[in-house]
Amino acid sequence: MFKKVLIANRGEIAVRIIKACQEMGVNTVAIYSDVDKEAPHVQLAGEAINLGDPTPIESYLNIPKIIKIAKETGAEGIHPGYGFLAENPDFAQSCNDIGIKFIGPPPKVISLMGDKIAAKTTMQKANVPVIPGYHGEKQDNVSLIKEGKKIGFPLLVKAAAGGGGKGMRIVHSEELLEQSIESAKRESKSAFGDDTVFLEKYLDKPRHIEFQILADEHGNVIHLFERECSVQRRHQKIIEETPSPVMTPQLREKMGKAAVAAAKAAGYTNAGTVEFMVDGNLNFYFMEMNTRLQVEHPITEMTTGIDLAKWQLRIACGEKLKPKQSDLSQRGHAIECRIYAEDPSNGFLPSIGTLTKVDAPTGPNIRNDTGIYTGMEVTPYYDPMLAKLVTYAENRTESINKMIWALSHYVVMGVTSNISFLKTVIEHEEFKKGNITTHFVDDYFKDWTVEKDGLPIDAIIALAIYDSMHSRKEEIVRYKEADPHSPWKHVGRWRVGGKGV
Amino acid sequence: MLEDGELVERGCEILFINYEHENHVYNVSIERRNNFYYITYNNTEYKAEAEEIKPGQLTIKVGERVTKSVITEGEKEKYIFIDGDVFRVKPVELTGKKKTKKKEEGDLNSPISGKVVNVKVKKGDLVKKGDVLMVIEAMKMEYLIRAPFDGKVENVNFKEKDLIEIGEITVDLKKREA
């Protein structure tokens, strides 16, 4: 085992990895930027080295600085966490070059999986299903229609240069294909100056389901079942669970085999995730492979009992995987909610400020992975994720109930958080039924705002009592009625600025 | 807890507080009497018992209903966590006259414009500090005018069902030297 590992990350994931190292008797080196001086990962690690300027490119993305610190502190391995440098092949290569073990797959595998087209080609060769499509050069109508018919309907016509839905058409039948290709081309030409289009099978009711992989450096690959990650906002997951409510033993077996085949085809080592899209008829297609420990790894740990972070360290040290595929089983149901400093009623924009109070719920089978504390400043420099709240119970209903309880008892004050939103989503009838797709948040919560019923009476009473207890006479904004036309004649709720209630 | 005498000297001290939340202003008044808080909002009075378990952490009982909340203060705003939700409020200033004038002894002004519903004393009565002299009702709340000291009633300026304006003197009381 390593004697010392540097954790090239911050926040909850740095804390998570430091704890795994410490449980295994591995010394730890944390790195931190100027704004993270008092962060939990800094407090917890055996050593902590300052990176200076908080700008990511000058701190947690600065390869030369981090490599230099690793050398100077005598770290034998570097764990990149997720985000930042976790999927940067140059960083992995830089580690290798100076003889420090990068805790993750080899640089060339990171590069291969980072190239989405090359990754798909690799998967096709390994007989892993990919989304049928045409990305060829023949752009005349006759060729495109021929390719379109091969793919089948509904299909998606996509501008090669596209983005933001421009030059994109969903085509439901052959008769509409030609006119859709033409209008997509026209739109693409005027928007991007290029009328090249791709064709891709359009997935109805798509779900995002991924499989966790562990691969050692001796050719052993196992999967640790699925995670259902369909509930997303702005293409980022906010709620994950396992098992997936749509999974059947047969499908799990098929997808698990495909995931193992995908990892083998890529020459993968260490922990990784194979992401699939699953359509309404339970057809699944390879989407991409994430060459890192995922944010949502705890739900797999809860249901399998396997500590993924520790296995990452063991695998990186050359140990063989002990658990065999046949040893593994899923037990119970786990859900993760990502708690962000963001405003769901305002386009999920990040919210910054000082956390005036943080108090996390505790209880049987409630896991709270976090890097925040009361008094901490949430800065605009890094990802606004504050914590990952995980509940585990014997079945999905119980796990949902536990999550509702835990969210209701999670105190985060000082910045706007998405806790109320998460609770509303979890309590939604369709979520409870397991009817979720990647469109779930858009379908049901497009214009969601916090219930504008205003301040509940209980809050008004509590605030008034608090002020009565704490305010000295001079401090309080307090008036006595002198004017018969004063606002006190209109007690109750009214709006500043003359807008109607 | 305010001393009873202090209460009376301030003429039944009431805090008027305005909270702004999501562009709405909430006018609240609160008065503390005999271990109870009387909170008035939207023409309704709530009688509450409250305890601060830890700093900012309140347990409040209104009737049989118990609520728990956590309150923290930012630079200007306050945050309250209640029933799983967080609300941000800002105290706001409204037009009105700040109460600054310290009352003269025996000057028993009405704290509010309202109706006299009960007169407990008559001219010549001897009263003890804390005795109720008059009850005034406004916005469905009752305000008790109490004697700030031992004394003799010199004059009663209002009778039952009279309308009284804020600041008008309820009872003239002459302090009796001990």
- What residues of B are in contact with residue A412 (Cβ under 8 Å)? 86
Tell me the mean pLDDT in the region A278-291: 94
Q: What is the pLDDT of residues A409-425, one digit of tens each?
A: 999 999 999 999 999 99
pLDDT for res B107? 59
Task: Determine whether the interchain pair B24/A501 forms a contact, defined as Cβ–Cβ distance below 8 Å.
Answer: yes
Task: Determine the pLDDT at residue A472.
Answer: 57
Q: What per-residue confidence (pLDDT) applies to A165?
A: 67
> What is the chain B residue with the closest CA to A451?
B85
pLDDT at position A158, please? 86
> How confident is the model at residue A116, as a pLDDT?
78
pLDDT over threshold 90, residue A168:
no
- Whether A280 shows a pLDDT value over 60: the answer reads yes
What is the structure's pLDDT at B168? 82
Shared domain check, B119 and B87: no
Q: Are residues B121 and B156 in the same domain?
A: yes
Is the pLDDT assigned to residue A130 strictly greater than 50? yes
Q: Residue A201 corresponds to which tokens in the numbers above? A: 């099978």
Over 80: is that where the pLDDT of B13 sits? Answer: no
Q: Which residues of A touch B112 (CB under 8 A)?
A: 480-481
| pLDDT at res. B105 | 52
Give the gap in angstroms from C-alpha B172 to the nearest C-alpha of chain A: 21
The pLDDT, as a whole number, for residue B178 is 60
- Mean pLDDT, chain A, whole residue set: 91
Assess whether pLDDT exceeds 80 at residue A269.
Answer: yes
Give yes or no: residues B128 and B163 share one domain.
yes
Confidence of residue A486 (pLDDT cuts 50, 70, 90): very low
Concatenating the DSSP letter of every residue in A342-381 gives EEGGGTTEE--EE-SEEE----TTEEEEE---TT-EE-TT
| pLDDT in the model for residue A187 | 86
Of residues A22 and B90, the one with the higher pLDDT is A22
Q: How far is CA A232 from CA A162, A208, A229, A407, A437, in A?
A: 22, 9, 7, 18, 9
Question: Kindly report the CA angle at A361 between A228 and A359, in degrees rounded to 5?
Answer: 120
Kindly list the structural domains of chain A, giving each domain's residue range(s) and its CATH number in brackets, ordered by start. 4-103 (3.40.50.20), 133-201 (3.30.1490.20), 207-445 (3.30.470.20)
Q: Which amino acid is at A401?
A: N
Q: Are residues B87 and B111 in the same domain?
A: no
SS3 A326: helix
pLDDT band at A346; cut points 50, 70, 90: confident
What dihedral do alpha carbons A127, A130, A133, A137 form, nearest 10°? -70
Structural domain includes residue B141: yes
Same domain flag for B51 and B118: no
Contact B95 A487 (CB under 8 A): yes
- Given this model, what pLDDT does residue A159 score? 84
> How do residues A13-62 score in pLDDT, each as one tens digit?
999 999 999 999 999 999 999 999 999 999 999 999 999 999 999 999 99
Global pTM reads 0.79
DSSP-derived 3-state class of residue A280 = coil
Which residues from B are below 8 Å from A359, CB to CB?
Answer: 70
A394 phi/psi in degrees, rounded to 5: -70, -25
Domain C-terminal end among B63, B91, B119: B91
Given an 8 Å threshold on Cβ–Cβ distance, is A466 in contact with B56? yes
How do strand A27-33 and strand A4-7 relate by DSSP bridges?
parallel
B78 and B140 part of one domain:
no
Q: Are the C-beta atoms of B108 and A451 separated by less than 8 Å?
A: no
**For range B100-106, the mean pLDDT:** 44
Comparison of pLDDT for A292 and A453, the residue scoring more: A292
Q: Are residues B9 and B58 in the same domain?
A: yes
**More confident of the two residues A196 and B94:** A196
Pair (B39, B84) in one structural domain: yes
Q: Which two tokens stand for residue A404?
A: 């509702």
Q: Nearest CB to A481: which of B22, B23, B166?
A: B166
Question: What local confidence, expressed as pLDDT, does residue A488 receive?
Answer: 47
Q: Is residue B138 part of a domain?
A: yes
3-state SS class at A257: helix
Calculate what percentage of chain B has a pLDDT beyond 90: 38
Question: What local confidence, expressed as pLDDT, does residue A451 receive?
Answer: 59
B61 and B137, same domain (yes or no): no
Within a domain: B76: yes
More confidently predicted of A485 and A446: A446
Number of domains in chain B: 2
Look up the ipTM and state it. 0.78
In a domain, B19, yes or no: yes
Contacts A–B by Cβ distance under 8 A: 202
Higher pLDDT, A230 or B97: A230
Q: Is the separation of the CB atoms in A262 and A123 below 8 Å?
A: yes
Q: What's the average model confidence in pLDDT over B19-38?
A: 90
**Chain B residues within an 8 Å CB radius of A491:** 27, 40-43, 139
Strand partners, B138: B141
Measured torsion, CA atoms of residues B124, B130, B134, B140, in degrees rounded to the nearest 10: 180
Residues within 8 A of A (CB atoms), B 32-71 only = 32, 37, 39-43, 46, 48, 50, 52, 56, 58, 60, 62, 67, 69-71
Reply yes or no on whether the pLDDT at A174 is more than 80: yes
Does residue B16 lie within any of the structural domains? yes
Residue B18: pLDDT above 50? yes
A395 pLDDT exceeds 60?
A: yes
Instruction: Indicate the residue type of A377.
Output: E
Q: What percent of chain A has pLDDT over 90?
A: 77
Interchain contact, B37 vs A465, CB within 8 Å: yes
Tokens (6 digits) for A217: 């450096």
Active-site residue flag, A207: no
Say which residue, A170 or A447, is predicted with more confidence. Answer: A170
Assign residue B61 the CATH number of its domain.
3.30.700.30
Q: Are A360 and A390 in contact (CB under 8 A)?
A: no
Which of B91, B126, B155 is the last residue before a domain boundary?
B91
3-state SS class at A209: strand
Distance from CA of A404 to the nearest CA of B (A): 9
Same domain? For B19 and B87 the reply is yes
CB within 8 Å: B89 and A501: no
CB A458 within 8 A of CB A248: no
Residue B98 lies in a domain: no
To probe the interface with A, which of B30, B76, B109 has the most A CB atoms within 10 Å?
A: B30
More confident residue, B138 or A355: A355
pLDDT value of position B169: 86
Model confidence pLDDT, tens digit, residues A294-337: 999 999 999 999 999 999 999 999 999 999 999 999 999 999 99
**Among the ranges given (A92-106, A130-144, A386-400, B56-70), the one the predictor scored with the smallest mean pLDDT:** A130-144
- CATH number for position B165: 2.40.50.100
Do B78 and B16 share a structural domain? yes
In this predicted model, what pLDDT tens digit does every residue of A226-245 receive, in sequence order? 999 999 988 889 999 999 99
Tell me the pLDDT band of B166, cut-offs 50, 70 and 90: confident
- Specify if B166 maps to a domain: yes
B169 at the A interface (CB within 8 A)?
Answer: no
**Domain ranges, residue B74:** 4-91
